Amino acid sequence: MFRPATYVSPVPNYGTHGNVSYYNHAPAIPGQNDAGWVAAPNGSTIAFGHGSFSRLTQCWVQVDFTYFQTLVDIPLGTTLTTFSINFSGMDDGSLVTIFNSANPGGLVVPGSYVFLGGSGTTNLAPHIVAGETNRVVITQMDDCPVGNTLQSAVVNLNGTVIPPNSPPTVAANAASVSANEGPAGIANSGTYSDSNTGDNVSITASVGTVTKTGTNSGTWSWSNTAPNGPASYPVTITANDGNGGSAQTTFTATVLEAPPVLTVGGSATYTEDNAPVVIAPSLSLTDPGNDSIDGAKVSIGTNFNPSQDSLGIAGPLPGGISSSYNAASGVLTLSGVASPSDYQ
Binding site for Ca ion (CB under 5 A): 91-92, 142, 144, 147, 165, 194, 196, 199, 228-229, 241, 245, 257, 287, 289, 291
How many other C-beta atoms are found inside a 10 Å radius of the C-beta of residue 140?
27
User: By the 8 A CB rule, do 57 and 3 touch?
Assistant: no
CB of 180 to Ca ion, least distance (A): 9
CB of 246 to Ca ion, least distance (A): 9
Please say which residue, 55 or 297, places its beta carbon nearer to Ca ion: 55
Using CB atoms within 10 A of its CB, is residue 97 exposed (0-12), middle (13-18) or buried (19+)?
buried
Q: How far apart are CA 60 and CA 62, in angstroms?
A: 6
Please say which residue, 122 or 228, places its beta carbon nearer to Ca ion: 228
How many other C-beta atoms are found inside a 10 Å radius of the C-beta of residue 147?
18
How many other C-beta atoms are found inside a 10 Å radius of the C-beta of residue 268?
10
Question: DSSP labels for 156-177?
Answer: EETTEEEPP----EEEES-SEE
Omega of the bond prior to 342 within 30 degrees of 0, cis?
no
CA angle (235, 132, 152) in 5-degree steps: 105
Tell me the one-letter amino acid at 59.
C
Please give the residue whose beta carbon sits closest to Ca ion in the complex: 289
Q: How far apart are CA 49 and CA 138, in angstroms?
A: 15
Please say which residue, 91 or 235, places its beta carbon nearer to Ca ion: 91
Please say which residue, 33 or 221, places its beta carbon nearer to Ca ion: 33
CB of 238 to Ca ion, least distance (A): 14
CB of 14 to Ca ion, least distance (A): 14
Please say which residue, 277 or 337, places its beta carbon nearer to Ca ion: 337
Q: How far apart are CA 109 and CA 81, in angstroms?
A: 17
Please say which residue, 293 or 321, places its beta carbon nearer to Ca ion: 293
Please say which residue, 99 or 332, places its beta carbon nearer to Ca ion: 99
CB of 292 to Ca ion, least distance (A): 9
CB of 214 to Ca ion, least distance (A): 14
CB of 133 to Ca ion, least distance (A): 11
CB of 5 to Ca ion, least distance (A): 19
Q: 21: helix, coil or strand?
A: helix
Q: How far apart are CA 310 and CA 300, in angstroms?
A: 9
User: By the 8 A CB rule, do 299 and 329 touch?
Assistant: yes
188 to each of 174, 177, 205, 212, how far by Cα in Å?
Answer: 7, 7, 11, 12
Q: If you compute the radius of gyration of the chain from its CA atoms, what whole number of angstroms results? A: 35
Please say which residue, 188 or 194, places its beta carbon nearer to Ca ion: 194
Please say which residue, 7 or 142, places its beta carbon nearer to Ca ion: 142
Tell me whether strands 246-256 and 176-180 are parallel, antiparallel or unpaired: parallel
CB of 328 to Ca ion, least distance (A): 32
